[in-house]
Structure 1
């Protein structure tokens, strides 16, 4: 993965899901890419159970310490919840002889419902049916979960004590945490008895309103309007709750004063930083609001633009001396939801990350590729508006995956650039049957036009192959994930490191 500047040829050693020549990744890179893009839901080329089986197989092929470091990186830097638990469970099955697993579990379990999710995953992976079959729990998992239990207070335990394959009460009996003091023992007793006080949350307030009886629809609407205004003024809505309920808030007809407060909260720089939202969450909210017929829509859209800009405030872009190409894959396989309940597509993630990077660069060419490659000039700054403009024009290039055309265009123009960024699922192929490949075009471009150029493949799907040999190919790197944290890898690459440098530096 280190950049080398001697030209050499590497031959493909596999094919991708389209049957095109491709290169395998190292076990570390493949696991990293699979984890960073895992929603553990069905994707265009791969079903959820297939992805889970591949994750388990890759854990067995990697060093246990690296797997633990990757789990921490996924939880703390990429804000993923489920896949770090899968890694911990699989490590517990394979690794013995030290306290690596217990330390990992204690670090990645940050909410009470992750205790029960981890136990449900443990049951599935070890083919256990029913809570009673979990009584032979891994000792290291048990120790790590005990530490986690001691971290949570009564409010957190009550809030996340939900029905499911494993309840928190079941987990308490399985883990046997030693209470820190008498007060915590009392909490554990309440959890067992089912007498923890119902936590006060904005959800419980709205739920109570929804179950009430109203004489007229107008009375019901007025009740929700008043409740939303009260919640907004109280500051009890967390940032994610506010972001996900913008449509409900505006449809409730809240006052202009309340909308001003909403916009101020959304675009509060410190609140944005604390919220740790994935960039595409802002796009999902933007689209929900934009579809409304409401006089406050423009103000809220502006606040969302400010918010996503602040979310990437630390993103290190490039100055006017660095010539950058940002190319977004709009092929059919990218038109796949990131999870079954989400309206966000891999294509959306590609465009958001691409436009975020474009907003931080001063000398940039942006465009999209499918059957063809098309350059599209966009103003710097309005990330979400630019994404919508790309989305509106997607049909102009078709739906194949001819990524090689991006580099061929540069070569034919004899245009010298420093960095080429491809946001894609990396399942590139040639629908034109002219024999061109990205590997061939890149080698020729570097040989005849820009020997110093670097190619970055931003892998948004993690299927385990690449169209070039990222282990040895000149000036090529693979970066994976849906978070703006992917751009933090660029600095490591420029300093002679790899996409794995930040992961391998994690200590715990």
Structure 2
């Protein structure tokens, strides 16, 4: 007789990392019952959706900044280990540059104010992953807290400078129009790097960056070959530079001199024509290629040279290594005028979504297309939260064994698709649908499915449509809410079989099969 493995055993459903109250004590911005989350959960959902200082449908950029800073300061005191891991992941994996920089600066300020030691230096170094970011964090600190730089901030920046500053970074990011240049950063943190850098190529580079900042015109040291090759290119008379591109090894020479597509036009002192693009394309990354498809067409890039771009976009390994977010390919697909890019971009987006799980059984996917989701993702983006929800919902649907895909607002409509469809082809069916009747959509569409996925900003209307939508699904059926805005209150309670994720990448969806296998959900860091 089995003593332990019998019917008396109560299998408890795993829970995800997002934690909320179990009874609504607040309201959403549209008046529906709202569920407060603990500080860790609220900060995480806000951080992965927060384009610093930019408005959303229900919060100004200033309001979001204040809420973000307050949460960071609170957790910098109460749980600095968790916060340090979150900031490292936020920058390195989620790709949220400005949010990570602000969070790191606020950690330093909060811990100094609380007279607490540790964490600050490492957090700053982890948040700075691109060579222009040491200047960014200094600019933020000066604007927010003045010119007095605490030691942990200096040391963290110094660690990042030692790792990030090189010849190519100087050429690309040391912009004369910026108020804080590489030389300024180096002079501010010089005591921290000098012992390690003295007598090395870094010492030569750092000294040259300072000299360059002050306009002293000193020659480039011999130990800096990229900068010297760059200077040699600029010694070529302007009228001869386009003919230089006809040389057999012109592409390799440009690459050795640290010339990027951004700087090639300045070197040519004229527009980028098809020859210029063809020369620089071999050294461009996937992200840069995607950004410039319209420019390639405008310049008249030949089909032969376009084939090089297409090969890169359809290379699954190259797309994954690039870590370009899926939504970048959607934006390029909408902006590119030529049909020759359509199929490669469809393939690239599908490759970028390879981490989405293959869901067994029947899945109900509800995509919020209400008015508040029509808010743009960022000031420079043409995409909206509705676009993001539709893209991820469509991609999840075509990878599921059997999925019912609906869009909803005041009403709801089925989105027709075949499993062989590309994600981008499905998106043409989505449209704006007014207010947010999440609960009504769940009630009308749930029909014994094995799971429910809702992609939304969680801001449902009050009244019947504003009821907790997760309660309309049986307790033993998992409901996954994908939060795309990071507002303060959720539309339902988190707990067993009720999970919330956030962000604008595919990473969170990986948790679905783990949770359904009974593996306890945890933070992605």
Q: TM-score range by the shorter chain?
A: 0.7 to 0.9
Alpha-carbon distance between aligned partners in 1 of 2:262 and 2:513, rounded to the nearest angstrom: 42
CA drift at 1:107: 2.3
Q: Deviations over 1:75-96 (max 9, x none)?
A: 1221221111111111101125
- Residue 495 of structure 1 and its aligned partner are, at CA, apart by 5.1
Deviation by residue 1:77-121 (Cα, 9 ceiling, x = unmatched): 212211111111111011254431212222231111010111112
Matches within 5 A, 1:351-370: 351-370=390-409
* Shift, 1:10, TM fit: 4.3
Q: How does 1:111-122 map to 2 (within 5 A)?
A: 111-122=130-141
Q: Distance in 1 between matches of 2:352 and 2:312?
A: 14
Provide closer, same or farther for how the CA distance between residues 156 and 361 of structure 1 changes in structure 2, counting only shifts above 3 A.
Answer: same
CA RMSD of aligned residues (A): 2.2
CA displacement 1:467-496 (0-9 Å, x = unmatched)? 1122x4x52111010011121332453355
CA-CA distance at 1:278 after TM superposition = 1.1
What secondary structure sits across from 2:460 in the alignment? coil
Residue 501 of structure 1: SS of its match in structure 2? coil
Say if 2:249 is the partner of 1:227. Answer: no
Q: Aligned pair 1:202/2:220, yes or no? A: no
In structure 2, the partner of 1:53 is 66
How far apart in 2 are the matches of 1:49 and 1:23? 23
TM-score, normalised with respect to structure 1: 0.84
Candidates 317, 332, 343, aligned match of 2:358:
317
The equivalent position to 2:473 in structure 1, one of 445, 462, 465, is: 445
Query: Which of 172, 175, 179 is matched with 2:189 structurally?
Result: 175
TM-score by length of 2: 0.82
Equivalent position SS for 2:350: helix
288, 291, 308: which one aligns with 2:349: 308
Residue 506 of structure 1 is matched in structure 2 by none
- Cα shift readout 1:177-209 (whole Å, capped 9, x = no counterpart): 224242211111110111674542222212344
Residue 157 (str. 1) matches residue 170 (str. 2): yes
Aligned residues: 455
Aligned residue among 495, 503, 523 for 1:481:
503
Contact conserved, 2:353 with 2:395, CA < 8 A, in 1? yes
Distance in 2, Cα, partners of 1:203 & 1:343: 22
2: CA distance, partners of 1:165 / 1:422: 45
Is 2:90 aligned against 1:78? no
Name the residue aligned to 2:149: 137
Distance in 1, matches of 2:14 and 2:415, equals 32
1:418 to 422, 432, 450: 450
Deviations 1:428-487 (A, max 9, x none): 124xx5x34442x543431xxxx42111110000011111122x4x52111010011121
The residue that corresponds to 2:374 in the other structure is 335
- The change in CA–CA distance for 1:310 and 1:266 in structure 2 (over 3 A counts) is same
Indicate if the aligned counterparts of 2:14 and 2:521 stay in contact, CA closer than 8 A.
Answer: no
Structure number, greater radius of gyration: 2
How far off its partner does 1:229 sit? 2.0
Q: Is the 8 A contact 2:437 2:465 kept in 1?
A: no
SS in 2 for 1:112: coil
Structure 2 distance, partners of 1:123, 1:2, is 45
The match for 2:121 among 95, 99, 102 is 102
2:111 is the alignment partner of 1:92:
no
Cα distance in 2, alignment partners of residues 478 and 442 from structure 1? 11
| Alignment check: 8 A CA contact 2:330 2:424 kept | no
Q: Deviations over 1:23-44 (max 9, x none)?
A: 1111110000000101111111
In the superposition, relative to structure 1, how do residues 343 and 436 fare at CA in structure 2: closer, same or farther (>3 Å)? closer
2:325 to 278, 290, 298: 278
Distance in 2, matches of 1:187 and 1:496, equals 53
In 1, are the aligned partners of 2:373 and 2:456 still within 8 Å (CA)?
yes
Q: Distance in 2 between matches of 1:267 and 1:401?
A: 38
Where structure 2 has 5 or more consecutive residues not aligned to the other structure, the ranges are 1-12, 221-226, 231-257
